[in-house]
Chain A
Amino acid sequence: MSDTEKRDRGLLRVGVDECKGCGLCMDACPPKVIGMSERLNHYGYRTATYAGKGCTGCGICFMVCPEPGALTVYKLAKVPMVAAGTGVTGVS
């Protein structure tokens, strides 16, 4: 079994400075892998949190999120670049 197979297809990053905690992503996420933080951020909002696994990379949370930079959804690259030195795929 290669690395790729074990990994989730998708991955979510939440910008804590940008999220205002409206909760729309939580509701819309099909596999329900988004929760809400207990702690308040710098601006006084609770913010969305990613469960850490289970994201399919569908992008629905991004679509429903009103804040331009609050969420970034990643997808596992089709051809993972493990070549020495790069370790990173091109960002499309």
Chain B
Amino acid sequence: MSNEMIPDYEVAHGKSKAFYERYERKGELHHQTHYCPGCGHGNVSKMLARAIDELGIQDRTILINPVGCSVFGYYYFDVGNIQAAHGRAPAVATAVKRSRPDSVVVAYQGDGDLAAIGSGEILHAANRGENITVIFVNNGIYSMTGGQVAPTTLLGMKSLTTPQGRSVANEGYPLHVSELLATLEAPVLIERVGLGDAKQIVQATRAIKRAVENQVRGLGFSLIEVLSPCPTIWKMSALDAQHWVRDVMEKTFPLGVFCDRTKEAHPRLQPAPAPALAELPRILGVADDDLPEGHPYPGKRAEEVDLHVRVAGFGGQGVLLLGEVLAEAGLDAGLEVSWLPSYGPEMRSGTSNCHVRLSTKTIDSPLVVLPDVLVAMNEPSLRKFDDSVRPGGWVIYNGDTFPEDCKRKDVNVLALPFTDIAHELGDARVGNMVMLGALLEIANALPQTSIDAALGRLVKNPKWVALDERALERGRALLKESLLEV
């Protein structure tokens, strides 16, 4: 209903301008929200809309909507809207606020969203004192999913997953989010309000406006926890649910201001802007002469490159470095590249592998599922990835003999004892570079200057650079020899 005009009367309380006139919901439900009769989410939405109206910030407000019953905020609020993954609203709000400091960013969250799956996000956003506003609607339950226990469910309260009532022994105590966050040094305002009766609702309206206003003033992190009725899941009438907030819920979650630094807070310092691109070499301590000189392949290359490589072995064999040199050389040659390492928690031993792509086109995904070349530094790696090699592709295997049961008719194989060959060259550890040499010869996509440049950048010790160069050369030669043998 729009605020219709009536002779001699003026609208004292009507629908906020921050709401859409009609909601673009499915079917014919354009007139009303999806909330159940008596649901506190409606009241809280109205309070937020009113604050937006009164502060005149509709054009620069961005609402971060949660997962939960209030997921559809974007149907109702005529502001910028983002819908975050479950519990991640404070992280999304951080990013939005930092990249658009002039916007007013409000994260709206339920208690399952904020206090369970998102407990990490809210804690750290509060601790960093992000200049955002968080509206935390605590109805003590997961409502949207049908009433499972939440961290905030009251002791003894029955839920789908605590059919005998929440017990300390099983589910622990109700989590007092506001009290916890108030122990931090950064937050500016943390207050718990309720929707238990008209008086409480008036106070809640005030608190929400203050929390948004703090952000407009640049003061920092404000959070308002709202004890809110959910008549549907609580299985109560709207009125009983409202009074239950005041008469029961409030005993576990006392209302009040837990932290208020509004008076002494100074406008929060903006994080330093990102440095200019041209400044980066100096900041990173990279000398100018280390940098590639423009694109060796300006414009369109004569030949399209689209190389997918998987390198695998055990930790310490130089699996990741091999991939890095390849990717770095591609970068030097002006190609699009990706290098995605994948390894277990072990620093040494354990297995490790990486995905490398080089392409003249934009790379859609850094994952290599169908490698053109597999570099297998040991037998388990060969067994693991052999089947994935693209027909017509190559397997470079570190071993005298290629296991019979791994042989495929549709791929090329170069199987040599690369570790031993490297040992003869001077150090067994450059086996990876011998294998890379063979790979470069197969791919035939990179000029030697780019490979030299990559080695120079990634390997600091000149002695090793010299050894690596020899190893690469040896690898190239071995591949050529193997082709002649056929």
Contact = CB atoms under 8 A, between A and B. Distances in A.
Contact of A66 (B12, B40, B239): B40
Most buried by A among B10, B16, B45, B237: B10
A23 B239 contact: yes
Interface string A6-32: 010011010101101111100110000
Interface in B130-145: none
A90 B36 CA distance: 34
B49 interface: yes
Interface residues of B, number: 43
Contact of B9 (A23, A28, A89): A89
B407 to A, nearest CB: 70
Given A59-B13, A64-B43, A68-B46, A20 B7 contact: no
Given A59-B13, A66-B41, A69-B15, A74 B35 contact: no
B33 A22 contact: no
Contacts of B205: 63
A10 B13 CA distance: 11
B134 to A, nearest CB: 21
Contacts of B42: 65-68
Given A22-B37, A63-B201, A90 B43 contact: no
A75 B32 contact: no
Contacts of A10: 12
Contact of B198 (A20, A63, A69, A90): A63
A80 to B, nearest CB: 4
A23 B32 contact: no
Nearest to A70: B1
A89 B13 contact: no
B32 A67 contact: yes
Nearest to A57: B12
B14 A43 contact: no
B25 to A, nearest CB: 13
A55 to B, nearest CB: 10
B264 interface: no
Nearest to A62: B13
Size bracket of the A interface = 35 or more
Contacts of B8: 3-4, 7, 76-77, 80-82, 87-89
Given A17-B31, A63-B205, A72 B10 contact: no
A27 B242 CA distance: 11
Contacts of B19: 68-69
A73 interface: yes
B424 interface: no
Given A15-B31, A66-B42, A22 B9 contact: no
Contacts of A71: 13
B3 interface: yes
Contacts of A23: 38, 237-239
A40 interface: no
A66 B10 contact: no
A88 B13 contact: no
A60 interface: yes
Interface in B6-30: 6-16, 19
A84 interface: no
A60 to B, nearest CB: 5
A64 B3 CA distance: 18
A66 B35 contact: yes
A91 B7 CA distance: 10
A80 B36 CA distance: 39
Interface in B345-378: none
Nearest to A46: B37
Interface string B291-304: 00000000000000
B11 A88 contact: no
A76 to B, nearest CB: 6
A28 B239 CA distance: 10
A46 B37 CA distance: 11
B238 A60 contact: no
Nearest to B7: A87
A68 B237 contact: no
Contacts of B39: 66
Contacts of B481: none
Nearest to A77: B10
B4 interface: yes
A22 B237 CA distance: 8
B4 A45 contact: no
B58 to A, nearest CB: 14
A89 B43 contact: no
B14 A72 contact: yes
A28 B198 contact: yes
Contacts of A20: 32, 36-38
A38 to B, nearest CB: 17
B39 to A, nearest CB: 6
Interface in B37-89: 37-43, 45-46, 49, 76
For the complex of A and B, 5 pairs with smallest distance between CB atoms:
A66-B42, A15-B1, A22-B37, A22-B238, A22-B38
13 contacts: A17-B32, A20-B36, A23-B38, A23-B239, A24-B242, A27-B239, A66-B38, A66-B40, A68-B46, A71-B13, A74-B9, A89-B8, A91-B5
